[in-house]
Amino acid sequence: MKKLLTLLPLFLGGFFFSQRKPVQKISYPVEFKKISDEILLNSNSYENLRELTKQVGPRFSATTGYEKAVVWAEKKLKEAGAENIWKQEVVVPVWERGRESLQIKTSGGKWQSLKMLSLGSSEGTGGKDLEGEILLVKSIQEFNTLMSKDVKGKIVFFNYPFDQSIVNTADAYMLAGKYRWSTPSLVGKRGAKAVITRSLTSAFDDVPHTGSMYYDQDDKNRVPAISISAKAADELEKSLGKQKVFAKINTTSGTKGEMINHNVFGEIPGNKDKSVIVIGAHLDSWDISEGAHDNGAGVVQCLEVLRAFRKLNIENNHTIRVVLYANEENGVQGGETYAAQAKKKGEKHIFAIESDAGGFSPRGISLDMIPQRRRLVFAWKDYFLPYGVYDFDQTYAGQDILPLKKLDVPLAELVPDMQRYFDIHHTSEDTFEKVNRRELMLGAVTIAQIVYMIDKNW
């Protein structure tokens, strides 16, 4: 009897253990296909993009267009199934483009108008004509060899083109980017009147590109900074090789204080814990653009990931939060504010991915994280190959989520095929019609798949 009583608990334990529901092993290829089918068959991301670009339109920071976009985003997050929707105040600069013009002429010639765009954050000429002789410089290295007397009083023209031999256009953009970002202060400190830069583009058309620039804090001579098209730049260089050329710039651009904009959030709370996975894109666009690829595509892809998770009844372990950032184009204050508040609140973030490289076909996922984490993601590569996603070697993550790196958050960015991206980037040509519906949806598929893997395995 005593022996029976001793064995009874073991028997009962074995009985009850045998009645427990066995843990089901996840078939990731099957789950990937479910996600892909749901988005490719039922997505409304393309129509959302049409609304954002055609009904809301340009949505530059500190404008009524941006506030209209915020209202639109809150509505769309609700439609996607977000449980918690809220806004976060962000202090942004009030920069206005105003009127702008550029004319050039040769000695004894007549003034001829040239297409141009002021660079974001550039000071203007106060609505007065600023005239000067154009000084051609091919590189910053060449500029540094010039005497101050050669620069003073001139309008410096940097004609530094995209390196067409670089296959990854993002690398070519970063290489040429310093001619837009830093040359205004560089020439101003040497006594120049203004700077003209070649647009950061792989194209050879007559479409000027805008983009952000900055002045050094100690820069007392904040000169106007403008951009001309690649075609105009090459023609201007040819003219300068034969004779002197003069420019007349007239702009009313300038920064006029600050105001409040908002980041917009929507999330699905986690079932296991409250640690956060961020899916991010910036809501703003340049003032001269519908911002379809930059970054309307990223915005609607983030919304689509949330909708697909809801529709498929995926029980996410961690909180999945869509963050639509303010002010990426001319300050990144939305990203900085979000990271600062996350730190202040003590929120734990386990992963952040951004879509800000256009709505073209997905080719990879860039990973900015420690080697151990990278190896985990590399182990999943075969699951992505059937969807044309193979590149996991890049290490750059988007501007808006980059401040989270200071909190040791693993970062990633969707890598689309970017061969055409910089043809239209930061131009009036970045329109809804330039986005392909299927390519846009496939980008959302890739983001949803990687978020699914992170949620189930980290």
pLDDT above 90: percentage of residues in the chain: 93
What DSSP string runs through 98-130? Answer: --EEEEEEETT---EE---EEPBT----TTS-E
H and E: helices and strands count for the chain: 15, 15
Largest CA distance in the chain: 120
Other Cβ atoms less than 10 A from the Cβ of 396: the count is 17
Model pTM above 0.85: yes
The region that residue 126 occupies, defined by phi over 0 for left and psi between -120 and 50 for alpha, beta otherwise, is left
- Measured CA to CA, the distance from residue 315 to residue 397 in angstroms comes to 27
Banded model confidence at residue 17, pLDDT cuts 50, 70, 90: very low
- Measured CA to CA, the distance from residue 170 to residue 403 in angstroms comes to 20
The region that residue 224 occupies, defined by phi over 0 for left and psi between -120 and 50 for alpha, beta otherwise, is beta
Q: Minimal CA–CA distance to 175: which of 140, 215, 211, 224?
A: 140
Burial class, 310, CB count within 10 angstroms (exposed 0-12 / middle 13-18 / buried 19+) = middle
11 or 324: which leads in pLDDT = 324
Return the pLDDT at 4. Answer: 46
Q: Read off the pLDDT of residues 263-293 as tens digits, 9 standing for 90 and up.
A: 999 999 999 999 999 999 999 999 999 999 9
Other Cβ atoms less than 10 A from the Cβ of 173: the count is 21
Does the pLDDT of residue 8 top 60, yes or no?
no
Q: Which helix (H) or strand (E) holds 65?
A: helix 64-80
Banded model confidence at residue 24, pLDDT cuts 50, 70, 90: low
- Measured CA to CA, the distance from residue 260 to residue 91 in angstroms comes to 5
Return the pLDDT at 143. Answer: 97
Q: Which helix (H) or strand (E) holds 157?
A: strand 155-158
Does the pLDDT of residue 9 top 70, yes or no?
no
Q: Read off the pLDDT of residues 196-247 as tens digits, 9 standing for 90 and up.
A: 999 999 999 999 999 999 999 988 899 999 999 999 999 999 999 999 999 9
* Domain locations along the chain: 28-95+257-457, 99-252
Return the pLDDT at 25. Answer: 85
Banded model confidence at residue 3, pLDDT cuts 50, 70, 90: very low
- Average of per-residue pLDDT across 431-452: 98
Q: Read off the pLDDT of residues 354-413 as tens digits, 9 standing for 90 and up.
A: 999 999 999 999 999 999 999 999 999 999 999 999 999 999 999 999 999 999 999 999
Residue 166, token pair as written in the block: 């670089």
Q: CATH homologous superfamily of domain 28-95+257-457?
A: Zn peptidases (3.40.630.10)
| Shared fold status for 28-95+257-457 and 99-252 | no
The matching CATH number, chosen from 3.50.30.30, 3.20.20.80, 3.40.50.720, 3.40.605.10, for 99-252 is 3.50.30.30
Q: Read off the pLDDT of residues 73-117 as tens digits, 9 standing for 90 and up.
A: 999 999 999 999 999 999 999 999 999 999 999 988 999 999 999
Are the C-beta atoms of 151 and 411 separated by less than 8 Å?
no
The bridge status of strand 194-198 relative to strand 112-113 is unpaired
Q: Minimal CA–CA distance to 323: which of 288, 260, 284, 278?
A: 278
> Tokens 């915005």 correspond to what residue?
299
Q: Any residues with CB less than 8 A from the CB of 351 and at least 6 apart, and which?
A: 277, 278, 409, 410, 411, 412, 451, 454, 458
The bridge status of strand 155-158 relative to strand 362-368 is unpaired
- Average of per-residue pLDDT across 320-333: 98
Name the 3-class secondary structure at 249.
strand
Q: Read off the pLDDT of residues 140-188 as tens digits, 9 standing for 90 and up.
A: 999 999 999 999 999 999 999 999 999 999 999 999 999 999 999 999 9
